[in-house]
Structure 1
């Protein structure tokens, strides 16, 4: 149990993943309990131990053994940042070959708010399957940021985390106070 709404943060392997702790900090300040779920490649790019200490929960990236309990509480919302070309296409096709995709596929029809921030090279976003898959996921209820939302305005600038936090904040449950 937590005192704050639970946000599953699915992290894919793209440059913003290496600084995902910055986003976690902002999300936690905004009132979320953050549970990080990483794709297998992203799991090798991030400091899983530091994120576990930061969030108070282990980073999930490998399947649980049969009978093993889920270390994360039930989600109130889901954020996929950065959402890569590979993950978005596999998700749209219902491919379930990683823990991250398994969770995304299970939650797709749950009614939970899900926000994804695509991060892919222009050459990949021009691929004929990409736009169709984004539209398919959007019809299933996925909300997207613009495709370049995470791109820094200049090479030395930071990622635009506040934009992501503001969009996620729209899904914070109303306070009972």
Structure 2
């Protein structure tokens, strides 16, 4: 599986861009999956549901399955968070895994940058960044040594990823 990441400050538009890039890639007959890292507490379960009750009772894993989808919930229960390699190892085979977050993991990634947010660029301190997708005017990032992608052109971003990963 090829792996390609998206990095940027919170609120920069990583999720939105990934959401727009997925159909551009899947529309070419490629199977694409996503891993999203979050620093926030999250729960896909609902209090009172059977699966929630099983977790609350102490189950380490709960697999929910229907004729439409399945999901495996794994409770860490104090164990360390698995790294990206461990997460990739449990994913079903596909052509491309898009990764949101994992800023410090060394996989090729696009930085999402919006100058209006007032945050610095990440690429100078992150050698894994291979391009910058931005909504800045063309002359707003003088001297940018990386490919500059239009944040509002997901098809061009998808093309860049596929070329970079040798999938075209």
> For this structure pair, what is the TM-score category when the shorter chain's length is used for normalisation?
0.3 to 0.5
The structure with more helix, counted as a fraction of residues: 1
Q: TM-score, normalised by structure 1?
A: 0.44
Larger radius of gyration: 2
- 1 or 2 for the larger relative contact order (CA 8 Å, sep ≥6)? 2
The structure with more strand, counted as a fraction of residues: 2
